[in-house]
């Protein structure tokens, strides 16, 4: 049985969260021999949290990275040798398994690892001192000082270095102050790889940390492709649809399955959010049809469901500017120019004056902190289907086809989509 982690992009939005959860459900039905777990690789923004809470959807657990860890390679003790036991016990187990270290206990409590080096040292010392070597010692007499234990969550690479720099043949592994296993040099011959399915993104820099060490098993996405190399052929479903949730719905249908009510609610949530209630220009007839089919399963109209979702969107003036900008912020590198594009949704732009200065200042901070050349945030009025663009001072911004309202602020009537409308214009402005 293999375990697969299904994750969306950093700065998770509703499409990323809901598509990962729904796809985990579909994969569990299609492939019950393996385990599929939805995770999120970033923290949820306030609006996203509120909407999920209102819909009684528990978000997937947070997983910061997919780097291999000590716990993925560690060994569990298969016999409990007590400190006061005779070395005869070690001799017996050595015959079968040839262990380089054996965990030793005192009244059931772990006290250390007995290494083959300890045994050698004990006998050599005995010979040197003229001790009676016909007497068989206890385990406790032979075991020597212990090295610092590793933690279960320590990175494989760090632990490998620690062990090769140590004179010890093995190190114990602790979690929450408890002994849970041990590692020997043999454990580090080959780094294990996590199996990961990427949802709603395919660019490594938008993905979970450590993705370069993982086995990317599938990609389900509706963005431009700028993805990683893989070692084997993989399943990719990339379609220019309004949401990744639409693709997941299509995959249910193609497999002659219908999502249950819970899953339909998830899919419709991601779809409404990404297509801005089917009004974004990224919306296709396929999205419209899928939304209606899902709304039927959920038992609500598409419009009502969509409005319900956006009624939980926080007013931007109430949010911390930097946090609001970073909630849905994507980075791109194009011909050496580092871009960052954020998008915030609002139900009105009437209060823009209340927060525009704070946002412009925070945007410049975000640019500096992230080493970007150009940072922008588009604020989209999902009700009126308009956006404004706040931009840091960057020479190519003059080439944007939008009217300048005031220093750093552009009017984007009818523009709702970052990837379909704004990103291409920014690339064009850069002369690409």
- The residue (of 184 and 246) whose beta carbon lies closer to Mn ion is 246
Q: Give which of 202, 205, 198 is closest to 329, Cα–Cα.
A: 205
Region near Mn ion per CB under 5 A, out of 48-56, 102-110, 193-201, 280-288? 193-201
- The residue (of 104 and 415) whose beta carbon lies closer to Mn ion is 415
10-29 mask for Mn ion (x: CB under 5 A)?
A: -----x--------------
Min dist CB 339 to Mn ion, Å, is 18
Structure tokens, 316: 């931007």
- The residue (of 200 and 345) whose beta carbon lies closer to Mn ion is 200
User: How many chain residues bind Mn ion (CB under 5 A)?
Assistant: 4
31-70 mask for Mn ion (x: CB under 5 A)?
A: ----------------------------------------
Min dist CB 384 to Mn ion, Å, is 22
Q: What is the dihedral of CA 202, 204, 209, 210, to 10 degrees?
A: 110
CB 222 within 8 A of CB 239: yes
Min dist CB 200 to Mn ion, Å, is 4
Structure tokens, 225: 């492709």
Q: Which residue has the CB atom at the shortest distance from Mn ion?
A: 15
Strand partners, 112: 104
Rounded Cα–Cα distance for residues 154 and 140 (Å): 29
Q: Is residue 381 near Mn ion by the rule CB under 5 A?
A: no
Q: Give which of 200, 226, 228 is closest to 212, Cα–Cα.
A: 228
- The residue (of 16 and 195) whose beta carbon lies closer to Mn ion is 16
Kindly tell me which residue out of 12, 170, 184, 200 binds Mn ion, with binding defined by CB under 5 A: 200
Region near Mn ion per CB under 5 A, out of 177-185, 199-207, 254-262, 336-344? 199-207
Min dist CB 15 to Mn ion, Å, is 3
- The residue (of 102 and 417) whose beta carbon lies closer to Mn ion is 417
CA distances from 325 to 300, 310, 367 (A): 32, 18, 11
Min dist CB 228 to Mn ion, Å, is 19
Kindly tell me which residue out of 274, 287, 328, 381 binds Mn ion, with binding defined by CB under 5 A: 274
Helices (H), 154-198: 156-165
Q: Give which of 423, 22, 55 is closest to 244, Cα–Cα.
A: 22
Neighbours of 129 (CB within 10 A): 7
- The residue (of 154 and 328) whose beta carbon lies closer to Mn ion is 328
Residue carrying structure tokens 């990175």: 155
Rounded Cα–Cα distance for residues 84 and 45 (Å): 56
- The residue (of 77 and 270) whose beta carbon lies closer to Mn ion is 270
Neighbours of 14 (CB within 10 A): 29
Rounded Cα–Cα distance for residues 299 and 195 (Å): 36
CB 426 within 8 A of CB 397: no
- The residue (of 70 and 199) whose beta carbon lies closer to Mn ion is 199
CB 18 within 8 A of CB 270: yes
- The residue (of 32 and 240) whose beta carbon lies closer to Mn ion is 240
Region near Mn ion per CB under 5 A, out of 71-79, 158-166, 195-203, 400-408? 195-203
Min dist CB 243 to Mn ion, Å, is 5
Residues in 235-254 that interact with Mn ion by CB under 5 A: 244
Residue carrying structure tokens 């200042």: 361
- Please return the burial class of 385, using the count of CB atoms within 10 Å of its CB with bins 0-12, 13-18 and 19+: middle
Min dist CB 397 to Mn ion, Å, is 26
Judged by the rule CB under 5 A, the positions of this chain that interact with Mn ion are: 15, 200, 244, 274
């Amino acid at each position: 049985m293999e375990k697969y982690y299904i994750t969306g992009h950093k700065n998770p939005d509703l499409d990323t969260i809901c598509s990962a959860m729904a796809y985990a459900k579909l994969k569990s039905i299609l492939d019950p021999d393996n385990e599929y777990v939805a995770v999120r690789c970033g923290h949820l923004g306030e609006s996203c949290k509120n909407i999920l809470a209102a819909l009684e959807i528990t978000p997937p657990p947070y997983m910061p990275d997919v780097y291999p860890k000590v716990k993925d390679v560690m060994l569990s003790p298969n016999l409990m040798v007590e400190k006061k036991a005779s070395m005869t016990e070690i001799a017996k187990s050595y015959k079968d398994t040839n262990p380089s270290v054996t965990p030793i206990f005192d009244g059931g409590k772990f006290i250390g690892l007995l290494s083959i080096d300890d045994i050698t040292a004990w006998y050599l010392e005995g010979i040197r001192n003229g001790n009676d070597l016909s007497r068989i010692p206890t385990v406790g007499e032979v075991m020597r000082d212990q090295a610092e234990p590793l933690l279960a969550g320590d990175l494989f690479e760090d632990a490998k270095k620690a062990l090769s720099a140590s004179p010890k043949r093995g190190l114990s592994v602790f979690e929450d102050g408890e002994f849970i296993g041990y590692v020997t040099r043999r454990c580090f011959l080959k780094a294990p790889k996590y199996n990961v399915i990427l949802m709603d993104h395919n660019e490594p820099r938008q993905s979970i940390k450590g993705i370069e060490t993982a086995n990317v098993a599938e990609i389900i996405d509706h963005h431009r492709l700028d993805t990683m190399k893989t070692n084997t052929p993989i399943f990719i479903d990339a379609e220019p649809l309004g949401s990744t949730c639409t693709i997941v719905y299509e995959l249910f249908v193609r497999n002659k399955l219908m999502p249950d009510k819970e899953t339909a609610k998830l899919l419709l949530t991601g779809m409404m959010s990404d297509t801005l209630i089917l009004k974004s220009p990224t919306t296709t007839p396929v999205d419209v049809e899928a939304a209606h089919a899902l709304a039927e399963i959920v038992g609500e109209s598409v419009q009502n469901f969509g409005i319900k979702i956006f009624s939980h969107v926080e007013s931007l003036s109430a949010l911390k500017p930097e946090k609001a900008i970073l909630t849905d912020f994507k980075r791109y590198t194009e011909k050496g120019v580092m871009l960052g594009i954020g998008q915030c949704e609002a139900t009105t732009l009437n209060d823009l004056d209340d927060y525009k200065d704070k946002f412009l200042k925070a945007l410049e901070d975000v640019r500096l902190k992230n080493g970007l050349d150009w940072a922008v945030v588009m604020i989209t009025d999902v009700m009126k289907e308009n956006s404004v663009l706040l931009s840091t001072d960057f020479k190519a911004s003059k080439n944007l086809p939008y009217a300048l309202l005031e220093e750093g602020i552009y009017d984007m009537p009818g523009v709702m989509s970052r990837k379909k409308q704004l990103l291409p214009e920014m690339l064009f402005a850069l002369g690409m």
